[in-house]
C-alpha cells in the first residue's frame, strides 16, 4: 500500500529539478498546504527572465522596463535603444 501511495503522488519541480519554495531560475514554484491537507502549487515567471547564455543571451527585465539582446539594450523607461555601445 505504501508503494502505491508514493506512486500516486505528483512531484513538481522547476528550472530542471528545483523543489518548490527553493527556485533560483526563470520560474518560481511555491507550494502551500490547503486546510484539507492537499498541496496547492503556484507557478510563474520571475520578473527578470534570461534565455540563453553569454553574448547570445536575451534578458527581459520587467522591473526596469528593459530588454537586453546580446549587446543591444531596449530601455522602455528612458525611451532609448543602445546597440553595440551607441544610442540609436
The domain boundary, picked from 11, 28, 45, lies at 45
Q: What is the pLDDT of residues 28-66, one digit of tens each?
A: 999 999 999 889 999 999 999 999 999 899 999 999 999
57 and 31 share one domain: no
62 and 76 share one domain: yes
Which residue would you say has higher pLDDT here, 10 or 47?
Answer: 47
- How many residues does the structure list for the chain? 88
Range of the domain at 27: 2-45
Cell numbers given for 15: 528550472
> Total domain count for the chain?
2
54 and 39 share one domain: no
Distance CA 65, CA 40 (A): 31
62 and 81 share one domain: yes
Distance CA 8, CA 29 (A): 21
26 and 7 share one domain: yes
84: confidence class by pLDDT, cuts 50, 70, 90:
confident
Mean pLDDT, the chain, whole residue set: 90
pTM assigned to the model: 0.72
Amino acid at each position: 500500500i505504501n508503494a502505491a501511495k508514493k506512486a500516486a503522488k505528483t512531484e513538481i519541480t522547476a528550472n530542471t529539478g528545483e523543489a518548490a519554495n527553493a527556485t533560483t531560475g526563470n520560474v518560481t514554484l511555491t507550494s502551500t498546504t490547503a486546510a484539507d491537507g492537499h498541496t496547492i502549487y503556484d507557478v510563474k515567471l520571475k520578473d527578470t527572465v534570461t534565455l540563453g547564455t553569454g553574448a547570445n543571451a536575451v534578458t527581459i527585465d520587467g522591473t526596469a522596463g528593459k530588454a537586453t539582446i546580446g549587446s543591444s539594450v531596449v530601455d522602455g523607461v528612458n525611451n532609448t535603444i543602445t546597440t553595440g555601445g551607441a544610442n540609436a
